[in-house]
Amino acid sequence: MQTVVLCGFKGGTARTSTALHLGSALAQFHGKKVLLVDFDPQANLSTGLGFGTDSLDTMVPVLQGEKSAQDVIRETSVSGLSIIPANTYLDQIEAMAPLVTDPYAHERLRKALRPLEYDFCFIDIPPSLGWLCQSAFFAAKYSMICCVPEPYSVLALHRLAKYHAAVNEHHTLAVLGILFSMWDERGATNKAFMEGVENVFPGKMFQQKIRRDISVSRSVLHGKPVFDPFPKSRVAQDYQAFTQEFLQRF
């Protein structure tokens, strides 16, 4: 199973949308068996697939040793796409028993996912450097960095590069690539932003960009990926093209 953590230490970088649509495209158009892990207490990934935030079948009882990951997997409306939902109980779980007394608590996610049999697993995390992020990085083989063409998003890549270096002192984690979302092809500063990314992560930028499109927000109201309610939208086309490029990296 290829496990990928989607990261970006700034909010609003389309990290959750990318996890949802990349996973959906792999399952729907390429016949892959995909698991999404919502590891963000805001549970936006779960909401985007029609799951309420009041679900008790999350990673919380798994991390606490009360259930297995298999017990909390839910099937989505997309054939081949499954999800482990999230809720607010994920917040500060590292301070709860029995994790608070476990010096290796950050290894629990990795061990929980190890027995599962999927082609791909995508872990969606909050935009932070906290315990949830650390656990996800140690559970993954690859990271995929989500970025938007804005100064603070690009500047945050320096911090992210240092974090990757620190993780790699203890766990091998390869940067799969950097994806630009909210893209405007007419942006006057696009070249400068791409050069900024290239300086921090040379050769890692995906060629495909995800254009800004209101269809993404509208599809959340349907609780489905954009491919179903808005199959001809430009963002649907962009994510399908990006999925092809993503597969080429394997």
| CATH code assigned at 31 | 3.40.50.300
Rounded CA separation 182/145 (Å) = 14
CA dist 239 to 1, 39, 53, Å? 22, 22, 26
What's the pTM value of the predicted model, to 2 decimals? 0.93
Structural domain boundaries enclosing 116: 2-248
Largest interatomic CA distance in the chain: 53
pLDDT at residue 183, rounded to an integer: 80
Q: What is the pLDDT of residue 55?
A: 66
**Within 10 A of 82 (CB to CB), how many other CB atoms are there?**
20
Please report, as a single letter, which amino acid is at residue 172: T
pLDDT, tens digit only, all 250 positions of the chain: 999 999 887 667 788 999 999 999 999 999 999 999 999 999 999 999 988 767 668 899 999 999 999 999 999 999 999 999 998 888 888 888 898 888 888 899 999 999 999 999 999 998 887 899 999 999 999 999 998 877 777 778 888 888 899 999 999 999 999 998 888 777 767 788 888 888 889 999 999 999 888 888 888 887 889 998 888 999 999 999 999 999 999 8
| Number of domains comprising the chain | 1
